[in-house]
Amino acid sequence: MSFVQIIIVVSGIISGFFLIWGIAFLNKLHKQKKEDERIKNTSFLFSGNLKQTSLIETIQFLEIGNREGVLHIYCGRRKGYITFCGGKVIDAFYRNITGRDAVIEMFEIDEGDFYFEPKKIYQPRIIKDTILDLAFEWDEFQKNRMMKNPGGEAEK
């Protein structure tokens, strides 16, 4: 086999590799675009009032539905959000507090409005605790506060 024939064979193999890689890449992009469109075109709309539905119930509903997106919470002029990915709470923000502490702080809100915005989430999971763990922690905090202030309403 001559040197020219070897180069032709090698270049054929390399171009075949790039062709296969390009097809796989385009296929992956097409699947991602379909997934993004599915999330954008969802007819899922979830909103309500925290006097009628507690924040914990709302979060549990979104967990059970394996929802992905952002839950926006409004309490007067204050605004918070909880980010969901695959039904898991992964991040939160409320009153300059972030992460798990923000979720626990938002459990205190008993009036206001919320709505869920379905969207694709591209951020790492900041909150590692389950919502049940956070709810138990909040409950313990409430009990301790009631013990410090017996007979009166829990201070906020």
pLDDT digits 0-9 by tens, 39-95 = 555 556 789 999 998 999 999 999 998 999 999 999 999 999 999 999 999 999 999
Q: List C-alpha distances in Å: 65 to 87, 107, 145.
A: 6, 20, 33
Give pTM, 2 decimals. Answer: 0.65
pLDDT, average across residues 99-126: 92
With the C-alpha atoms ordered 38, 40, 42, 44, is the resulting torsion angle positive or negative?
positive
Sketch the domain layout of the chain as residue ranges. Answer: 1-41, 46-148
Residue 34 has pLDDT above 80, yes or no: no
Closest CA to 73 of 103, 98, 45: 103
pLDDT for 117 beyond 70: yes
Greater confidence, 19 or 82?
82
Of residues 11 and 90, the one with the higher pLDDT is 90
* Most confident region among 5-14, 20-29, 123-132, 136-145 by mean pLDDT: 123-132
Q: How far apart are CA 126 and CA 91, in angstroms?
A: 5
